[in-house]
Amino acid sequence: MASVHESLYFNPMMTNGVVHANVFGIKDWVTPYKISVLALLYDMTASKITLPERRRLNKLILPLQQGPDLTLGQFLKTVEECCPQTAYAVKLRLHEMADGELKDMEYFFSTLPTPFSAFDSEAYKTSVVGLFMRHMLLAYNKLSFSQVYKLYKSLQHYYHSHYAKPTDGQVSLPVLVADDSDMDLTSTEDTVGDRIDREELDTPLHESELRNDNTPSRGPLSQKQAEYFLARQAYLLKNDENKALKPAALQEELNNMLKFNPDFAEAHYLNYLNSMRVQDIFLSAHSLLHYFDRLILSGSEGKSNGDEGYGRSLRYAALNLASLHCRFGHYQQADLALQEAIRIAQESNDHVCLQHCLSWLYTLEQMKGSDSTVLTEDSVKMAAHFCLPYLASLGIQSLVQQGATQGKTAHKLMDALKDTDILHWKHSLSELIEISLAQTTSIWRMFGKSTMALQQAQLLLNMSSLEPVNFGVQQNNTEAFSVALCHLAELHAEQGLYCAVSEILQHLKEQFPPHSHHAKLWMLCDLKIQFERHMNEGKYHLAEPLVTAISALNKTEGLYRKAQVLKALNRSTEAYSILQRLQVHCEKTKRTEVVIRVMLSTAELHWESSGFSTALPLLLQALALARQHHLQSLASETILHLAFTQLMLGVPEHALSVLHEAIEPVLAHGSLMDKGRALLLTARCQMAVAGFRPNGQARADLHLVVLAVDTLNEAAAYFSKLNCKERLRDVHYLQAQLHRSLGQTSQCNKSAMLFRLLDQELQSPAPPVSMRL
């Protein structure tokens, strides 16, 4: 090879690249920052400081010693806040060294109180300070001549860069605005050099050149800085993605870090997490495997192939690969990887790993849509046996979820959740506490107890973060929160509080931007709310386009909504065929809620063709299902349907008695729409029981008629809140008739006028009042 530099490699004595700098096995290295800390310690012992100041400084020592390297400006600022006098002394001392000569630094180290001589001072050899000083002295003494010189040079750099341009360093720090007491990612030393360069360079630069000039200015991070950076970003990615760096910026940081320190395996893992964020399968797989390749190296030093050795990381490597494929929806690949992980875990008798595998297995089965109750139960039992509370309660939560869909009774589910909650609080598994609360919310809603659901959601949202280390994060931004907020939005929408709903959704949009992992939840929720609203207001043409969007997020839901729209547009045949298909599909996948709703819609279709008696068995079946699964809101709705059918079949007395059963839960927990409909139906039943005829031929029971007027008034209030004009029109029509029969002409006229106004506004011909619930 003729490239110029290679000639240097042929020097046989050269050992570059392979011999690492860490020949002495020292973990601590003297850095300019450490010298500043030493100077601070020195001045603290030397000078007289008042007691409160000393106390504040003492509190500062540990974080300064153990924290990442700060810039001089940050360091002095922190010290100044505690004791301006000492800060000045430290600055002076550093100035002496930096503006003096090498011997000044050497002198400083020689005058440091040796921990072995000072018996009564804080710097005694076993104290925290003493230990630190000993470390530093040892590290300093082991430096070779040229290293000492380099250290001095970097100290000068460190000192002067603070004064040369105290602001620049802060400006070029766009990434960690969250808390600026943090570390400085961009080391200022290099930027100085760069600026000079750029001034010299008056030749026009290409864009790529500029970019390349900028990147090295970032400079390397120290080990601790890097670790802190990684830990922080990883934590944020898990708990609050918004506060973490943007994917591209984070990628750049990581590339930079890896360029200077390719052995930093954790950076690869963060890279994997980051790529998962942007759904990049190639990069994430690549980073994950790279991480484990690296990890296997570092783990191999101690025991090999045993419980702690690299055999362990092999198992977890396979498991992680499975989870990666699982997340990207490659179930077959995930299955294969999981089998592999299970096999090697079995071979090496690693029960903990096997447990993890098992819990992934049932998750995978669940995602594939098959029943995994048995697996989950096994997993819970085994996890409890091996004392893995996290996995155990995760399993229970999963069981609860399955149980809820399969119609387990509420008290059993709640008991299970309560038991796990005890476990969570005992082990402070904050993440699971959040999930548990969100799950309770969902379960209450499913059972139709909106107040309880509301309360649980509020409980979760008002809880502050329980993480032991939180990086200034008040609250986590996990899936649990997203679920709770969505429930909250839907609950508000049910009560017609659309203003609040839009506020909640706005918050969700900010917290979970559209590209993020849990954004689909609120998107679906938003669409559903809009859909319901349009349907209630009778704007079917607005609801129709939403169906496509809904089916993109959730196929079953989309299909159901499509049927609803078609039904509303009187395209009954199409609606019927869709509903049939949906029912078969949902019965297969055991989605009882949807099945019941489909049955109700089918019954409504039967009504339209006046097939009230054919609707009856369907409704009874739905009622049985709803009761069996304890779905109260659906049960009440079914009863409403039943009552309506009975009314239509001419047995209003029965209908009224059936209604009495449902009216209470509807009024307590139901949505505005349900309440309105229930009251309207009651009024009509009352009218029918009273023997009321529109043309007023027969004598009606006046008492009941008055009652019906009241009920209608109430219903009208609900409908007007929802802006549900079609039903309001019906109400006014009935009201007018009732008033007429009661001889209240003015009220009758008023109602009639309201009816007329609405009728004109709606334009569409009113369907016969009798035909709908």
Partner 1 sequence: MKMAALCSEFGDLVQIKKQLISVISLCKERGLLHSAKWASELAFALDPLPKNELPPSPPFTEEDAQDLDALTLAKSYFDLKEYDRAAYFLKGCCSQKAYFLYMYSRYLSGEKKKDDETVDSLGPLEKGQVRNEALRELRVELSKKHTAGELDGFTLYLYGVVLRKLDLLKEAVEVFVEAIHTLPLHWGAWLELSNLVTNIEMLKSLSLPDCWIKDFFMAHMYTELQMIKEALQKYQNLIEAGFSKSTYIISQIAVAYHNIRDIDQALALFNELREQDPYRIDNMDTFSNLLYVKSMKPELSYLAHNLVEIDKYRVETCCVIGNYYSLRSQHEKAALYFQRALKLNPRCLGAWTLMGHEYMEMKNTSAAIQAYRHAIEVNKRDYRAWYGLGQTYEILKMPFYCLYYYRKAHQLRPNDSRMLVALGESYEKLSQQLEAKKCYWRAYSVGDVEKMALLKLAKLHEQLNESDDAAQCYMLYIQDIFSCGEQLEHAEVSTALRYLGQYYFKNKLYDEASLCAQRCCDYNDAREEGKALLRQISQVRDQIETPSADLFAPLSNNNTPVRRVSPLNLISFTP
Residues 328-387 that bind partner 1 (CB under 8 A): 333, 336-337, 339-340, 343-344, 347
67 binds partner 1 (CB under 8 A): no
Q: State CA 727 to chain mean position distance.
A: 40
Cα(386)–Cα(355) distance, integer angstroms = 9
- Which is nearer to partner 1, 304 or 506 (by Cβ)? 304
CB of 287 to partner 1, least distance (A): 12
- Which is nearer to partner 1, 238 or 290 (by Cβ)? 290
Site for partner 1, residues 674 to 703, rule: CB under 8 A: none
Cα(439)–Cα(401) distance, integer angstroms = 8
Q: CB within 8 A of 129, min separation 6: which ones?
A: 41, 61, 122, 123
- Which is nearer to partner 1, 298 or 589 (by Cβ)? 298
Site for partner 1, residues 278 to 317, rule: CB under 8 A: 285, 289-290, 293-294, 296-297, 299-300, 304, 310, 314, 317
406 binds partner 1 (CB under 8 A): no
- Site map 574..593 versus partner 1, x via CB under 8 A: --------------------
Contacts of 270-276 spanning 24+ positions with Cβ under 8 A: 270/230, 270/233, 270/234, 270/237, 272/324, 273/234, 273/237, 274/237, 274/247, 274/250, 276/324, 276/327
CB of 303 to partner 1, least distance (A): 12
Angle between helix 84-99 and helix 51-66 axes, rounded to 10 deg: 50
71-104 residues labelled b (16+ CB within 10 A) or e (exposed): bbbbbbebbeebbebbbebbbebbeebbeeeeeb
Q: Which stretch binds partner 1 (CB under 8 A): 13-21, 637-645, 697-705, 709-717?
A: 13-21
CB of 3 to partner 1, least distance (A): 6
- Which is nearer to partner 1, 257 or 680 (by Cβ)? 257
- Which is nearer to partner 1, 55 or 343 (by Cβ)? 343
Cα(456)–Cα(434) distance, integer angstroms = 11
321 binds partner 1 (CB under 8 A): yes
Angle between helix 188-200 and helix 207-218 axes, rounded to 10 deg: 150
25 binds partner 1 (CB under 8 A): no
Instruction: Give all strands (DSSP E) within 174-330, no chain letters.
Output: none
Binding-site size for partner 1 (CB under 8 A) equals 71
Q: What are phi and psi of 541, to 5 degrees?
A: -65, -25
- Which is nearer to partner 1, 149 or 163 (by Cβ)? 149
Q: CB within 8 A of 420, min separation 6: which ones?
A: 392, 393, 396, 397, 432, 436
Site for partner 1, residues 141 to 200, rule: CB under 8 A: 143-144, 146-147, 150-151, 154, 193, 197, 200
CB of 574 to partner 1, least distance (A): 40
- Site map 195..234 versus partner 1, x via CB under 8 A: --x--xx-x--x-xx--x------xx-xx-----------
- Which is nearer to partner 1, 23 or 387 (by Cβ)? 23
Residue 300: both structure tokens together: 């191999």
Q: Which stretch binds partner 1 (CB under 8 A): 2-10, 80-88, 435-443, 546-554?
A: 2-10
Cα(418)–Cα(437) distance, integer angstroms = 10
- Which is nearer to partner 1, 149 or 425 (by Cβ)? 149
Residue 398: both structure tokens together: 């999963």
- Site map 436..465 versus partner 1, x via CB under 8 A: ------------------------------
SS3 category, 463: coil
| Spatial CA neighbour of 637 closest among 605, 671, 610, 613 | 671
Question: Which residue in 39, 318, 423, 734 binds partner 1 (CB under 8 A)?
Answer: 318
- Which is nearer to partner 1, 18 or 387 (by Cβ)? 18
Residue showing tokens 């760069």: 194
CB of 150 to partner 1, least distance (A): 6
